[in-house]
Amino acid sequence: MMLPRPLEQAINNRFGSKRGLLNLTQARLQQAFGRFRPHGDVNFAEVRRLVFVCSGNICRSPFGEYYARSCGLEADSYGLHTRGGDPADPRALAFAASQGIDMSDHRTCHIRDYRPLPGDLLLVMEPKQYEELESFRAGQDWSPNVQLSILTLFKKSPSPYLHDPFGASAEFFQYCERQVMEAVDGIRGRIDASRP
């Protein structure tokens, strides 16, 4: 369906694409019916490391990792569909640099290379990634206190879906990375509040 150019541009800048808008709408409807309530049920007193997971490990998850580290948190990141060994997206590098963060040494890692540690909290960006990681986890020997959730459930206005900014407009790319920052800040607050 063709949309007027100004409307399509507005959608692209705010949601990444029409697909991003549809996915977010679907996820928010599911959220309204309580589907993601258990996903936000994290024992932050046990969290020792944040492990960010997205598709390619070039935009969302590496920025989450490096931003969390800049906040004094232990962090790592992986991709579900990456070949491994690639640098971060140039726009992620530029956005990180604008926040005083150097991500130039980042290289993508596939989730199969993840080695769980007690106190890990794995954070995905989308419900389908949660399901994929749960399926992957079923065949692994992970510590029982490795927790799994959706990153943006910990923003001020929780949301269960953060669209992949790869190939999206510059405006959406920056919006996306700011959502990552807001969610990490929310998690840091919960971790701090859980400590004696």
User: Domains of the chain: which residue ranges?
Assistant: 45-194
Q: Please, what is the end-to-end C-alpha distance for the chain in angstroms?
A: 55
| Residue whose tokens read 């510590």 | 143
Picking from 22, 151, 159, 16, the residue whose alpha carbon sits closest to that of residue 91 is 16
Distance of alpha carbon 96 from alpha carbon 105, whole angstroms: 12
Give the pLDDT confidence score for residue 1 in this predicted structure: 63
| Residue whose tokens read 């046990």 | 46
What's phi and psi for 195, nearest 5 deg?
-90, 145
Do residues 196 and 53 lie in contact, with contact meaning Cβ atoms separated by under 8 Å?
no
**Which residues, other chains included, contact 102 with Cβ-Cβ below 8 Å and sequence gap of 6+?**
66, 96
Helices (H), 71-112: 90-98
| Residue whose tokens read 């949301």 | 159
Do residues 50 and 60 lie in contact, with contact meaning Cβ atoms separated by under 8 Å?
no
Give the pLDDT confidence score for residue 7 in this predicted structure: 81
pLDDT tens track, the chain, 196 positions: 676 788 888 888 889 999 999 999 999 999 999 999 999 999 999 999 999 999 999 999 999 999 999 999 999 999 999 999 999 999 999 999 999 999 999 999 999 999 999 999 999 999 999 999 999 988 888 877 899 999 999 999 999 999 999 999 999 999 999 999 999 999 999 999 998 7
Give the pLDDT confidence score for residue 116 in this predicted structure: 94
**Which residues, other chains included, contact 193 with Cβ-Cβ below 8 Å and sequence gap of 6+?**
44
Give the pLDDT confidence score for residue 12 in this predicted structure: 87
Structural domain 45-194, CATH architecture: 3-Layer(aba) Sandwich (3.40)
Distance of alpha carbon 175 from alpha carbon 107, whole angstroms: 23
